Structure 1
Amino acid sequence: MVTVSGRWIFQGHIAGFGSQCGLRAVVGIWDESPYGAFADVMVELPSGRRLLLAPQREIANFIETTYTFEEVLLVPVHAKVGPSTGGGEVLSVEAGPLRLSASIGGRTRLGLLLALVPRAIAVHPRWLSLINPLARLLSPGVRTAGTAAPGRREYYGVTGLRRVESASILWDGCCCGPLAEIVPAVRFGFSSVPATPILATVQTTIRATRQPSSGDTLS
Structure 2
Amino acid sequence: MDRFRGFIAGIGTTSGTRLVVGHWLESPFGAFTDVMAENAAGSRLLLAPSPEIAEYVGGTYHFDAVDVGDVEARLTANHLLVSAGPLRLNVDLGARTVLGRMLERIPPVVAVHPRWLGAINPLAGLLVPGVRTAGSAGGERREYYGVRSIRSLTGAQASWDGRDLGSLSAIDPPVRFGFSSVPPKPQIVAVTTSIIP
**TM-score category of the 2 structures, normalised to the smaller one:** over 0.9
Alignment equivalent of 1:76, drawn from 48, 51, 70: 70
Task: Quote the Cα distance in structure 2 between the aligned partners of 1:151 and 1:180.
Answer: 34
Task: Quote the Cα distance in structure 2 between the aligned partners of 1:60 and 1:32.
Answer: 17
Residue 104 of structure 1 pairs with residue 93 of structure 2: yes
Q: Which residue of 1 aligns with 2:41?
A: 47
Q: For residues 47-70 of structure 1, what are the alpha-carbon distances to aligned partners after superposition, in whole Å with 9 as ceiling and x for unaligned?
A: 100000001001000001100000
Residue 153 of structure 1 pairs with residue 142 of structure 2: yes
Task: Quote the Cα distance in structure 1 between the aligned partners of 2:110 and 2:130.
Answer: 23
Q: For residues 74-112 of structure 1, what are the alpha-carbon distances to aligned partners after superposition, in whole Å with 9 as ceiling and x for unaligned?
A: 1100112114xxxxx111010001111011011011101
Partner AA of 1:171 in structure 2: W
Task: Quote the Cα distance in structure 1 between the aligned partners of 2:83 and 2:130.
Answer: 27
Q: In angstroms, what is the RMSD of aligned CA positions?
A: 0.7
Partner AA of 2:102 in structure 1: L
Higher gyration radius (CA) = 1
Task: Quote the Cα distance in structure 2 between the aligned partners of 1:79 and 1:50.
Answer: 20
Residue 12 of structure 1 pairs with residue 6 of structure 2: yes
Q: For residues 95-146 of structure 1, what are the alpha-carbon distances to aligned partners after superposition, in whole Å with 9 as ceiling and x for unaligned?
A: 0011110110110111011011111000000000010001000111100000
TM-score norm. by structure 1 comes to 0.89
TM-score norm. by structure 2 comes to 0.99
Q: Which residue of 2 aligns with 1:214?
A: none
Residue 56 of structure 1 pairs with residue 45 of structure 2: no
Q: For residues 6-53 of structure 1, what are the alpha-carbon distances to aligned partners after superposition, in whole Å with 9 as ceiling and x for unaligned?
A: x11000000000000100010000000000000000000111000000
Alignment equivalent of 2:124, drawn from 123, 135, 152: 135
Task: Quote the Cα distance in structure 2 between the aligned partners of 1:201 and 1:160.
Answer: 5
1:150 CA displacement: 3.7
Partner AA of 1:110 in structure 2: L
Task: Quote the Cα distance in structure 2 between the aligned partners of 1:54 and 1:8.
Answer: 18
Task: Quote the Cα distance in structure 2 between the aligned partners of 1:80 and 1:110.
Answer: 25
SS at match of 1:65: helix
Residue 195 of structure 1 pairs with residue 189 of structure 2: no
Percent identical: 53
Residue 24 of structure 1 pairs with residue 13 of structure 2: no
Task: Quote the Cα distance in structure 1 between the aligned partners of 2:81 and 2:39.
Answer: 20
Task: Quote the Cα distance in structure 2 between the aligned partners of 1:138 and 1:196.
Answer: 13
Partner AA of 1:51 in structure 2: L
Residue 206 of structure 1 pairs with residue 195 of structure 2: yes
Task: Quote the Cα distance in structure 2 between the aligned partners of 1:66 and 1:129.
Answer: 18
Runs of 4+ in 1 over 4 A off after TM superposition: none
Partner AA of 2:107 in structure 1: P
1:149 CA displacement: 1.6
Task: Quote the Cα distance in structure 1 between the aligned partners of 2:58 and 2:187.
Answer: 24
